[in-house]
Amino acid sequence: MKSIKDYVNLEQKFYNDVLENKDSLYSDQFDKTILHNISNIVIFATGSSSNAAYSALPFMSKTTGLPIYIEEPSIAANYLLNFNDDTLYLAITQGGHSYSIIDLVEKFEKNGKKIFTLTSDENSPAYKVSDHVLSMGMPVEEMPYVSAGYSVAILDLMLISMKIGNILGNLSDKVEQDFLADIKGITSKIPDVINRSDSWINENIDVFNKAKRIVWIGYGATYGVAREGETKVTETVRISSWGKELEEYMHGPYLGLHNDDVIIFIDPNGVLEDRVNRLQKFLSLYDENVYTINSVNKYHRKDLDLDVTCNELLASLYMTIPVHLLSFKLSQLKGNDLEKSAYPEFDKITASKI
Domains 4-188 and 190-333 share a fold: yes
Sign of CA dihedral 125, 159, 26, 70: positive
Tell me the residue type at 53: A
- Please say whether the beta carbons of 44 and 68 come within 8 A: no
Crossing angle of helices 11-26/173-188, nearest 10°?
Answer: 160
How many Cα atoms within 13 Å fall on the side-chain side of residue 166?
18
Crossing angle of helices 173-188/190-210, nearest 10°?
Answer: 60
SS3 assignment, position 285: coil
pLDDT digits (tens, 9 = 90+) for 43-53: 999 999 999 99
- pLDDT confidence band for 123 (50 / 70 / 90): confident
The span from the CA of 275 to the CA of 280, in Å, is: 8
pLDDT digits (tens, 9 = 90+) for 5-34: 999 999 999 999 999 999 999 877 888 888
- The conformation of residue 353, written as its DSSP 8-state character, comes to B
- Please say whether the beta carbons of 54 and 68 come within 8 A: no
- In angstroms, the first-to-last Cα distance of the chain is 21
Dihedrals φ, ψ of 353, to 5°? -125, 145
Edge-to-edge strand list for the sheet holding 262-267: 240-245, 213-218, 262-267, 290-294, 304-305
Range 227-237 average pLDDT: 97
Tell me the residue type at 286: Y
pLDDT digits (tens, 9 = 90+) for 273-299: 999 999 999 999 999 999 999 988 766
Residue 80 burial (C-beta neighbours within 10 Å; 0-12, 13-18, 19+): exposed
What per-residue confidence (pLDDT) applies to 143?
80
- pLDDT confidence band for 300 (50 / 70 / 90): low
- The conformation of residue 256, written as its DSSP 8-state character, comes to G
Assigned CATH topology for domain 4-188: Rossmann fold (3.40.50)
Average pLDDT, the chain: 94
Largest CA distance in the chain: 57
Tell me the residue type at 327: S
Percent of the chain with pLDDT over 70: 99
Assigned CATH topology for domain 190-333: Rossmann fold (3.40.50)
Percent of the chain with pLDDT over 90: 80
pLDDT digits (tens, 9 = 90+) for 172-224: 999 999 999 999 999 999 999 999 999 999 999 999 999 999 999 999 999 99
The span from the CA of 283 to the CA of 266, in Å, is: 15
Dihedrals φ, ψ of 154, to 5°? -60, -50
321 has pLDDT over 90: yes
- Please say whether the beta carbons of 50 and 70 come within 8 A: yes
* Count of C-beta atoms within a 10 Å radius of residue 109: 15
* Count of C-beta atoms within a 10 Å radius of residue 192: 13
Dihedrals φ, ψ of 78, to 5°? -100, -20
Domains of the chain, by residue range, sit at 4-188, 190-333
Give the per-residue SS3 of 145-185. CCCHHHHHHHHHHHHHHHHHHHHHCCCCHHHHHHHHHHHHH
